[in-house]
Structure 1
Amino acid sequence: MHRPLIYCWSGILLLLIGTSAYAEPDAAPFVSGFDRFARHAEIEPEVGGKLLLSELSCTACHQTDQSDLAPKGGPRLTGAGNRLQQQWVKEYLAAPHAVKPGSTMPDVLQHLPAEEKRQTIKALAAFLMAQETEFPTIKATGANPVPYEFWKKGNVERGQELYHKIGCVACHEPDETYEPGETKISPTDQMLAQLDPEDIIEMGLAAKMRPVKSVPHGDLPTKYTRQALTFFLLNPEQTRPAGRMPQLKLKAVEAADIAAYLLRNQKTEPAENAANNDAALIAEGQKRFVQLQCVNCHAAQNLKPKQFAKPLVQLNAKAATSCISQSQPGMPAYPLDQQQQASIQQALASLPLKHKPEPKQRLAFQLLQLNCYACHVRDKQGGVGFNRKPYFETVNHVDLGDEGRIPPTLTGIGFKLQKKWLAKVLSGKGDLRFHMHARMPVFPKSVVGSLPSEFETADNSQKLQQDKQVFPDHGKLASAGRVMLETGCIQCHPIRGESMPGVVGTDLGDVTNRVHPQWFHDFLLNPASLKPRTRMPTFFPDGKSQIKTLLDGSVDQQIASLWSYLKAGEKQPLPEKILAAKSKNYELVPEKKPIILRTFMQEAGTHAIAVGFPEKVHVAFDAEQVRPAIFWKGRFLDAQGTWFIRFAPPAIPLDKNPILLPAGAPLALLKNQGQPWPEFSANDNPYQFQGYRVDKAGIPTFLYRFSEYEIEDRFAPGKKQSLKRTIKIKGTPSSGALSKLWFRGLAGDSLKQIKPGTMKNQAGLTVSVSNAFAKTSQLRTIKDETDWIIPLPATDNNTADSTTIEVTYQW
């Protein structure tokens, strides 16, 4: 059932075509692009076969000079000893397709006699468990806290929510117990929801409605420890350089949460793999690793392949015995089904190629390999599966239609986006759609580095060559463009971070550095021609302007004026309506007393308390992590988002160069001065924030509790636009306590002592304490981070149960 306008997605799943998508998994190798398109004749069988040749890494042994058929390869095994559980390794080597149905790894031991197979597995496992590398050090920042042993502190419920919202379920199986939020249905999907399955087939919409099968996880609890899976999620490229599993820009605590969810059925944390000191067995395993050609697909100990099979172009597609057929003696076994076998045979029969593939064909094949079609549509192919759409939501369920929650189309993207911007997006630095929960993943540069050029070549109409002539005069028309923006653009889009109340669209301030001029012109002239079903209206119906008095009503001139204005950037004033909105006291200006605002800030979290002083020096306190997070000078904050916007963007200091303070609490109990400074997630933070009190001058003092200590933390303006911090600590450590209370004055990549009691970090932040405290301070470096710590209480100005330390910050 569904409600009018509001779509309850669980009901529509009953109407899906092709229930085989939910059948028990079989042993045939699973390749997303083949299963989704080749099985249903949506790509040529020959293309499906080539995809299998690449994704099954056939060309790791059967070499080819066709770059698009380069083998995907298996994961790096250089750290297998501390990434994988030994028992799982043995079971997987014995029967890969039984342990992980859908695995793309062949069974290379199937032809061995039972005893030899057992001994070979024992030796290979010993060799692989000897391959150990240290897990990388994850450096904390204000936006990415890294609690001590963070991988042990994941939260299953948070992990489940992240897994279903940020994009994991575009490829992997959703949890049937998870209920996505109600989402407003698009008109197209509303129509589909009303159709009978027979009507759907008759109208040729079966592909659109067909469920998309999932990339299998396998039995993760028997394969990984929490630490290993957490670090894999943080950076899949480290172990899987082929990029089929991308990085989703996870913070350390987010990766720990998702790992906790995926391993939720792991009853106890597996013990560490037992050390194997049998050098002879390890050496035998290394020898077999090369002989069995495991090294052709997997990197381990800098070993190089020594054997290759017959080159790909020389293979006989109709040979009586081959790897294609099941269980051939002396050959690796791929349990290919009949359709997979037939597709590979057709691909082999097409070799050698008489002509190089066209740019569009090459690009489409690469998108198949990377499974970009799981999220994106290109040339009417792919896109988020109908059975997965419910999991793509906007933040706070803001109604922006499918455009606001579903990843954008790639059709014509090379005509739309400039290469430099597309490269930025692929590198993970081009986020614009902050209203979407789904994240644009990051693929290895070695895999996607050529994509911007490939897109431009494939989509390069004659128009792109005329880009420089589209808007030849940027300057003279800019003032008219400012007027044009008020005809409707600013009702949906911010400009350089400023906007009308309630606006949540993408910012147009940098658009001239993102899109091609010709696309900009054509899109404004007729948005639906380049983006079907877009919510963007046309302001030039029938190609005519509605403002006859501006630039003589010339459509081309008016569009050029918009580009000119946006290209000019800050050289041009904001549109008049935005300036008028800003004048309505949305910008908070401390005049006689400080202003205190609870808000959401990118570096200070969802429980930020911003304090602005008339002296134009300000601080944001993170009440969740219980620490000062940001210092800045000049203008304070714009409260418009906090007060008026349902989907509130983070409040941003109105200063271009705010100072971000180190992550972690200001005080800690350390057993010795060499112990790392602890960091905590929100759930295990021993600090208890207890609010704040305001004195007669309007200055807040933050109150919190830590262990046996009650702490008062006050920030006030100092001389020369500095901040003076006064921390008062009350409490007596319990009898026999082994730890000492320390204050961390400063941390950074490097610290420089300016004078006794004064330190400066690489960001230009200077911290000063009295000489009495400075005498007992310690400067230390642990894991590439230097910090300056001061033991408390000091001996001179303290009572038996209280300590006061004054700190001055200048930048």
Structure 2
Amino acid sequence: MSRPLIPFLTGLVLLIAGTPVFSEPGAAPFVAGFDRFARHAEIEPQVGGKLLLSDLSCTACHQTDQSDLTPKGGPRLTGAGNRLQQKWLEDYLAAPHSVKPGSTMPDMLQHLPAEEKHQTIKALSAFLMSKQTEFPTIKATGANPVPYEFWKKGNVERGQELYHKIGCVACHAPDETYEPGETKISPTDQMLAQLDPEDIIEMGLAAKMRPVKSVPHGDLSAKFMRKALTFFLLNPEQTRPAGRMPQMKLKAVEAADIAAYLLRNQKTEPAENTTNSASALIAEGQKRFVQLQCVNCHTVQNLKPKQFAKPLTQLNGKAASSCIGPSQPGMPAYPLDQQQQASIQQALASLPQKQKPEPKQRLAFQLLQLNCYACHERDKQGGVGFNRKPYFETVNHVDLGDEGRIPPTLTGIGFKLQKKWLAKVLNGKGDLRFHMHARMPVFPKSVVGSLPSEFETADNSQKLQQEKQVFPDHGKLASAGRVMLETGCIQCHPIRGESMPGVVGTDLGDVTNRVHPQWFREFLLNPASLKPRTRMPTFFPDGKSQIKTLLDGNVDQQIASLWSYLKAGEKQPLPEKILAAKSKNYELVPKTRPLILRTFMQEAGTHAIAVGFPEKVHVAFDAEQVRPAIFWKGRFLDAQGTWFIRFAPPAIPLGEKPVLLPAGAPLALLSDSNQRWPESKSMKNALQFQGYRVDKAGIPTFLYRLGEYEIEDRFAPGEKQSLKRTIKIKGTPSSGAQSKLWFRGLTGNSLKQIKPGTMENQTGLTVSVSNALAKMSQLRTIKNETDWIIPLPAADNNTTDNNTIEVTYQW
């Protein structure tokens, strides 16, 4: 079921909950875990109260020795001056819960007389606007190109698609105008769709259907400049170390796209803030920042808190005068609703008992704090909201059911995954489900570093046994395991990056380094017992093998043989069926001559011309932008998608070490050497692609025109897997021409001269030209981008001297 699912959900959850599906919170502080679970009695009131004590940063002033009540704290304000817009800051200080409904920041100024409040806001604003720091330098890599001033080049449409696909809408509100792609409804959801709302409530399924409210954005257009929001999205931890907003593994251009989408209503780009306040006003602001205890929650350079309120254990939640009731002079004002107040009171009442929580309770509380339940279900709690499921899609909408598009359950995950692998996942280096658009975010290590051990302890660590206990003497069974894999495993799973045609499951090649052997054995014996509603079939019904001829049908040995084969890795050959499929696939392998494929590639565009050489060094030329776009080594390309699949994804280099070439044209006409290098589409005399010709050796020469010049551009393999580029130029400038022809040899955040005539950038790409050309070259830096440019001599059609340059690329 696709788009029609959304109107159905809208009507159903309205009837069940009586509230809008994607409604934003009101003035009361919004804490996702409290709103989703405590409000509906799905967690105990005191647990909800503890969550509020932490996320409202009560313990920043009311100190406690309970580690789970560490205050969330506010954002770091060092650098606020070049992140925030001053008008927004002043409005927010004046009325935080009006400017951003649902804000967890208290109103610290509500009790002040009007004039004093006005002066305090001006002083605090002047102080914070004076705190300006440089944005970090984002280093480009082969996989993460960083165009010049990339934050200005975001695309709203691409940003909208990313925002709705990679998982942002698990926490934040979707856009009503965005339509997700075709999504097949799961059998469980089909069943729910056939029930009346009254039946759903009667059957106790209302929690599954209840709308999940959104973590509020506030008015981002009033708050942020585009550059500031782009850098925040790239690394939220730098500003918000508590990890409530994780990093989504965005490339620089992706962050710019999402920022453009979120700021799409910003009519004009705000001017950068300048520090022009009097030093006395700034000093007064710093003084008030400490006096009002803002410093207890916010980091600003080296300022430290100087005063604290009563310790948490000494608080009386039912006192006539407190922070959680009606606003009191001299106290932070939180507009808590009655349920929030009652939960905090119960949490405070439970503190003196000092009962150490059980491992499962402690872990569940951490997951509440980090809102992991927005994506993951654990012990029948949480998971992607029913009203948000349509936004979770697979690449190309391949039908793998909910198991292939919804983030996996965390139930029993400590029994399933080895600690070292779970740590890798949490550190952002354990991606396996490449068929999913949703991304596993990265949280600060200081916040999630203990989770692998917590999961293992909570999920009954005594069940875990050593590998030798689970699979004694399994090492001799690898060859049998290779045969076992062909009975069903390789029909759904790749092995070491190789697979049967059409297979998109998780790769089993490294599974013995990911999962515990005990879980592996139990899962194969009965998949549904560990993963309800899984598509994984059982190959051992009733604990019996279906292959009586292999290892005498002994189930324990057959499972041990699978583990043994996978443990051996590349010491064992791939399964025979995969090898047979490889011999029939459409991988292009240049053997004696170059191969040329016109295709669609992510970094080379929809007019890519890929050239593969037998020397296992390759180039993709972007015929639309008229530039070399990608170099890579090793394997070339798979042509199946280009030849047979109408809506195939972009072709991806099969080899290793891909390196991206600088965006923009390789040659340009400049009026002087300090002129900024033009982008391809903005060039006054843009390059005009005129096709290519192929010589006797099968090597193409790309032909294009720039103004008065005809250019021939040829790439061929060089020594030590380098690429040798030969550019021939014909033509003379018109009389009185003010511009000169230049070649851009290399660009980057920084360039380093390796030897005369050889330059290297931060990605490791080296470019070499002759000493004669190098002597004429210039190295210039314009707005943090360094170019190595070389003037090219003019030549007419009748000369051959000085109209050819040779360039060598190595990486």
Give the corresponding residue for 2:326.
326
1:587-736 pair list within 5 angstroms: 587-599=587-599, 608-623=608-623, 626-633=626-633, 635-640=635-640, 643=643, 653=653, 655=655, 657-658=656-657, 660-665=659-664, 666-668=666-668, 691-704=691-704, 711-718=711-718, 722-729=722-729
Contact 1:745 1:790 in 2 (8 A): no
Shift in alpha-carbon separation, 1:500–1:556, aligned structure 2, 3 A? same
1:403-442 pair list within 5 angstroms: 403-442=403-442
Shift in alpha-carbon separation, 1:137–1:681, aligned structure 2, 3 A? farther
Contact 1:415 1:519 in 2 (8 A): yes
Give the superposition deviation at 1:723.
2.9
Distance 1:645 1:512 in 2: 34
Contact 1:137 1:783 in 2 (8 A): no
Q: SS state of the match for residue 465, structure 1?
A: coil
Does residue 462 (structure 1) correspond to residue 462 (structure 2)? The answer is: yes
Q: SS state of the match for residue 183, structure 1?
A: coil
Give the corresponding residue for 1:562.
562
Shift in alpha-carbon separation, 1:322–1:728, aligned structure 2, 3 A? same
The range that moved more, 794-803 or 286-295, is 794-803
- C-alpha distance after superposition, 1:197-226 (max 9, x if no partner): 101101111000000000111111111111
Distance 2:258 2:591 in 1: 46
Shift in alpha-carbon separation, 1:224–1:534, aligned structure 2, 3 A? same
Distance 2:451 2:685 in 1: 43
Give the corresponding residue for 2:6.
9
Distance 1:662 1:423 in 2: 34
Distance 1:731 1:172 in 2: 57
Shift in alpha-carbon separation, 1:799–1:748, aligned structure 2, 3 A? farther
Shift in alpha-carbon separation, 1:21–1:360, aligned structure 2, 3 A? farther
Give the superposition deviation at 1:509.
1.0
Q: SS state of the match for residue 789, structure 2?
A: strand
Shift in alpha-carbon separation, 1:460–1:681, aligned structure 2, 3 A? farther
Give the superposition deviation at 1:263.
1.2
The range that moved more, 557-566 or 734-743, is 734-743
Q: Which amino acid aligns with 1:595?
A: L
Distance 1:159 1:170 in 2: 16
Give the superposition deviation at 1:778.
3.6
The range that moved more, 331-340 or 171-180, is 171-180
- C-alpha distance after superposition, 1:51-101 (max 9, x if no partner): 000000000000000010000000011111111111111110010001110
Shift in alpha-carbon separation, 1:187–1:728, aligned structure 2, 3 A? same
Contact 1:662 1:747 in 2 (8 A): no
Contact 2:141 2:763 in 1 (8 A): no
Give the superposition deviation at 1:496.
0.9
Unpaired segments ≥5 residues, structure 1: none
- C-alpha distance after superposition, 1:773-810 (max 9, x if no partner): 12212456789987643232378999699943222345
Q: Which amino acid aligns with 1:727?
A: I
Distance 1:686 1:209 in 2: 56
Q: SS state of the match for residue 282, structure 2?
A: helix
The range that moved more, 148-157 or 468-477, is 468-477
Q: Which amino acid aligns with 2:754?
A: Q
Give the corresponding residue for 2:242.
242
1:766-805 pair list within 5 angstroms: 767-778=767-778, 788-793=788-793, 803-805=803-805
Shift in alpha-carbon separation, 1:430–1:704, aligned structure 2, 3 A? farther
Unpaired segments ≥5 residues, structure 2: none
Shift in alpha-carbon separation, 1:398–1:801, aligned structure 2, 3 A? farther
Give the superposition deviation at 1:674.
6.7
Q: SS state of the match for residue 702, structure 1?
A: strand
Q: SS state of the match for residue 808, structure 1?
A: strand
The range that moved more, 620-629 or 440-449, is 620-629
Give the superposition deviation at 1:49.
0.1
Q: Which amino acid aligns with 1:426?
A: L
Distance 1:163 1:433 in 2: 19
The range that moved more, 334-343 or 600-609, is 600-609
Shift in alpha-carbon separation, 1:790–1:361, aligned structure 2, 3 A? same
Give the corresponding residue for 2:208.
208
- C-alpha distance after superposition, 1:658-693 (max 9, x if no partner): 352544343456676677767789999976666544
1:287-686 pair list within 5 angstroms: 287-584=287-584, 586-599=586-599, 608-623=608-623, 626-633=626-633, 635-640=635-640, 643=643, 653=653, 655=655, 657-658=656-657, 660-665=659-664, 666-668=666-668
Give the corresponding residue for 1:46.
46
Q: Which amino acid aligns with 1:743?
A: R
Give the superposition deviation at 1:241.
0.8
Give the corresponding residue for 1:757.
757
Shift in alpha-carbon separation, 1:766–1:375, aligned structure 2, 3 A? closer
Shift in alpha-carbon separation, 1:135–1:687, aligned structure 2, 3 A? farther
Shift in alpha-carbon separation, 1:633–1:76, aligned structure 2, 3 A? closer
Contact 2:722 2:808 in 1 (8 A): yes
The range that moved more, 289-298 or 740-749, is 740-749
Distance 1:207 1:389 in 2: 15
Distance 1:549 1:682 in 2: 69
Contact 2:482 2:575 in 1 (8 A): yes
Contact 1:404 1:436 in 2 (8 A): yes
Distance 1:393 1:305 in 2: 47
Give the superposition deviation at 1:587.
3.3
- C-alpha distance after superposition, 1:568-597 (max 9, x if no partner): 111111110111111125332323432112
Tell me the TM-score normalized by structure 2: 0.92
Q: SS state of the match for residue 59, structure 2?
A: helix
Contact 1:169 1:391 in 2 (8 A): yes
Alpha-carbon RMSD across the aligned residues, in angstroms, is 3.1
Q: SS state of the match for residue 352, structure 1?
A: helix
Contact 1:27 1:98 in 2 (8 A): yes
- C-alpha distance after superposition, 1:423-478 (max 9, x if no partner): 11111111111111111111111111111111111113422133442123343111
What is the number of equivalent residue pairs in this alignment? 806
Give the corresponding residue for 1:196.
196
Tell me the TM-score normalized by structure 1: 0.92
Give the superposition deviation at 1:624.
6.2
Give the superposition deviation at 1:706.
6.1
Contact 1:474 1:567 in 2 (8 A): no
Contact 1:164 1:391 in 2 (8 A): yes
Does residue 283 (structure 1) correspond to residue 280 (structure 2)? The answer is: no
- C-alpha distance after superposition, 1:253-275 (max 9, x if no partner): 21111111111111111223343
Give the corresponding residue for 1:742.
743
The range that moved more, 20-29 or 570-579, is 20-29
- C-alpha distance after superposition, 1:153-186 (max 9, x if no partner): 2221111111111111111111111111121010
Give the superposition deviation at 1:421.
1.3
Shift in alpha-carbon separation, 1:161–1:765, aligned structure 2, 3 A? closer
Give the superposition deviation at 1:301.
2.6
Contact 1:49 1:345 in 2 (8 A): yes
1:237-276 pair list within 5 angstroms: 237-276=237-276
Shift in alpha-carbon separation, 1:696–1:88, aligned structure 2, 3 A? same
Give the superposition deviation at 1:147.
2.2
Give the corresponding residue for 1:27.
27
